[in-house]
Amino acid sequence: MQTGKQLAVRETPIPGFLVIDLPVYGDNRGWFKENWQREKQLALGLPDFGPVQNNISFNATVGVTRGIHAEPWDKYISVASGRVFGAWVDLREGDSFGATFTIEIDPSIAVFVPRGVGNSFQALEEDTAYSYLVNEHWSAEAQSEYTFLNLADPTAAIAWPIPLEQAELSDKDRAHPLLDDVAPMLGRRTLVLGADGQLGRALQQQWAGRTDVEFVGRDRIDLARPETLDGIRWSAYGTIVNAAGFTAVDEAETAEGRRVAWAVNATGPSHLARIAAQHRLTLVHVSSDYVFADVEGERDEHDALGPLGVYAQTKAAGDLAVAAAPKHYIVRTSWVVGSGRNFVSTMAALAQKGSRPEVVDDQVGRLTFASELARAIDHLLASGAEHGVYNVSNGGEPTSWAEIARRVFSLTGHDASAVTPISTERYDASRAGVAPRPRHSAMRLAKLEATGFAPRDQFAMLEEYVASLPTA
Given a contact cutoff of 8 angstroms between Cβ atoms, the answer to whether 88 and 102 are in contact is yes
Give the active site residue among 69, 271, 379, 387: 69
- Catalytic residue (one of 130, 132, 237, 311): 132
Task: Count each helix (H run) and each strand (E run) in the chain, helices first.
Answer: 13, 25
Compute the distance between CA of residue 146 and CA of residue 167 in angstroms, rounded to an integer. Answer: 23
Strand, coil or helix: 101? strand
Which residues make beta-bridge pairs with 440? 364
Task: For residue 132, indicate whether it is catalytic.
Answer: yes
465 carries an active-site annotation: no
Cβ 122 vs Cβ 159: under 8 Å: no
- Distance of alpha carbon 223 from alpha carbon 266, whole angstroms: 9
Nearest to 196 by CA among 215, 209, 210: 215
What Cα–Cα distance (Å) separates residue 55 from each residue in 69, 78, 137, 158? 15, 11, 11, 25
Please report, for residues 231, 358, 392, the alpha-carbon distance to residue 454 in angstroms, rounded to integers and kept in the order given. Answer: 39, 33, 11
Residue 102, Cβ density class (10 Å: 0-12 exposed, 13-18 middle, ≥19 buried): middle
* Angle between helix 198-206 and helix 370-383 axes, rounded to 10 deg: 50
Question: How many CB atoms lie under 10 A from the CB of residue 469?
Answer: 14
d(CA 422, CA 154): 78
Residue 426: partners with Cβ closer than 8 Å, 6 or more residues away: 358
Q: Which residues are catalytic?
A: 69, 132
